[in-house]
Structure 1
Amino acid sequence: NLAVAQADAGRARAAAGAVRLAADGRSIAVVSPVSGRITAATASLGQFVAAETELFRVADPSRLQITASLPPADAPRVRTGDRVELTTNDGQTIAGRVRSATGVVDRDTRGATIIIEPSAGGSLLVPGQSVQARIFASGGVARSGVMVPQDAVQTLGNRSVVFVRTRAGFKAQTVQTGSRSGGMVAIMSGLSASTPIATTNAFLLKGEIEKETAE
């Protein structure tokens, strides 16, 4: 029956068009439902895949968000809309805003979670990239003391110390530490924000003191 054959052919063409079947009938075009950049490609040429298999992962750069961690004591100071300065590993600076301050403390890092939305320059970021975030909190004075890199704090005997720069070199200064998050330590007492300290290779200074003590 010609009419039936023509109807079947029409349905076949419609089905082929729906899946973007190539003219030779041997391949189909895979089209992402969203625009963006491919961030992962798990499929390989010639591979047989099931209908639910993930072939590619696509991210929209304009909709990226950043999850930041900060000491729980500082979390109440952060407000939605606070200005953020993001710095990439290669030194590029990107502006952003706090999208939400969840107040949820991560069980592993013991840091409070803050969600940041990059603004101008956000297209330079890619999913999974690490950045440093400087949050200009609008909620009052910090209660967590001075934040210093974790490597700047060393242990001498039963004391936590940082090495303060003086005209004669560096000297160990006893401090009281607080919370730790994202590679930073809160100094609760014993150090003012304007005091210069050794933030890298502090373990070498510790080694010199221990060597002198042993002699």
Structure 2
Amino acid sequence: MLLGLGPDDVSRLTDASHVVSEVTVRAPAAGVVIARGVNPGQVVSAGQELFTVTDLGTVWAIGDLYEKDFPAVRVGSEATVTVPVSTGAPLRGRVAYIDPRVDPATRTAKVRVEVPNKGGDLRLGIYVTLGFETRSGGHVTLVPRNAVQSVGNRNVVYVLVKGGEGRFAERTLKLGAALGESLEVLDGVKPGELVVTAGSFFLRAEAGRTRSGG
């Protein structure tokens, strides 16, 4: 087949007695159009890219793995993927690749988790939280660095209150290792809870005014 065209389609195009103004170009595989290189009415040339189609049935989630966890997390280890903007249950995936190179600044290696995405919850570029199942059966809970604010000698985050119509609760955290742009949480939040990232500074300021009676 030529560009998804069958023999009858090609025959009509090569028939000089018929002028064809429109041609249906079929995608070689099922998927989602994520880029368009042409517009209606535009003249195209041979070899020009028309559309980019991607199969999002299974996607990659890329994260950072701290070097102290290398012995516990291996290729094939189970992982949970939590979508902060989703109210559904965390998705399950498996570690498919761990970069052998360690970033000298963060002491982390990139890890790739393959996640079935039948419901389409995961979109390209979306932020997710990864949790890894270790050999002992435990998980690592992570929060973004920019979600954590300092209040006195405490590290806090602001968690969305379920059913609270936009209200947030301040939680004190017990932090563990730094994992790239994320911080390990030993206590203070549970996997799947939604924390504020952008704008957490303003919530800290508002909470400070409330405590001071301002």
- TM-score with structure 1 length normalisation? 0.58
The question of whether the paired residues in 1 share the 8 Å contact of 2:58 and 2:118 is answered with no
CA RMSD of aligned residues (A): 4.5
Displacement of 1:75? 3.8
Q: Deviations over 1:58-111 (max 9, x none)?
A: 111234222222334334421112112222222233221111222434588764
Residue 50 of structure 1: aligned partner = 45
The question of whether the paired residues in 2 share the 8 Å contact of 1:64 and 1:122 is answered with no
Residue 6 of structure 1: aligned partner = none
Indicate the structure with greater helix content.
1
Displacement of 1:136? 1.3
Question: Percent identity, aligned pairs only?
Answer: 21
* Count of matched residue pairs: 180
Q: Deviations over 1:132-151 (max 9, x none)?
A: 22221227989x9x855533
1:18 & 1:104 partners in 2: Cα distance? Answer: 54
1:49 & 1:108 partners in 2: Cα distance? Answer: 47
Residue 162 of structure 1: SS of its match in structure 2? strand
Residue 161 of structure 2: aligned partner = none
Letter in 2 for 1:193: D
Residue 130 of structure 1: SS of its match in structure 2? coil
Residue 104 of structure 1: SS of its match in structure 2? coil
User: Gaps spanning 5+ residues in structure 2: where?
Assistant: 1-6, 158-169, 197-202
Q: 1:180 to 1:87 in 2, by over 3 A?
A: closer
- TM-score with structure 2 length normalisation? 0.59
Structure 1 or 2, whichever has the larger Rg, is 1
The question of whether the paired residues in 2 share the 8 Å contact of 1:85 and 1:135 is answered with yes
User: Gaps spanning 5+ residues in structure 1: where?
Assistant: 1-13, 165-169
Residue 121 of structure 1: aligned partner = 118
Residue 96 of structure 2: aligned partner = 99
- Correspondence 1:134 to 2:140: no
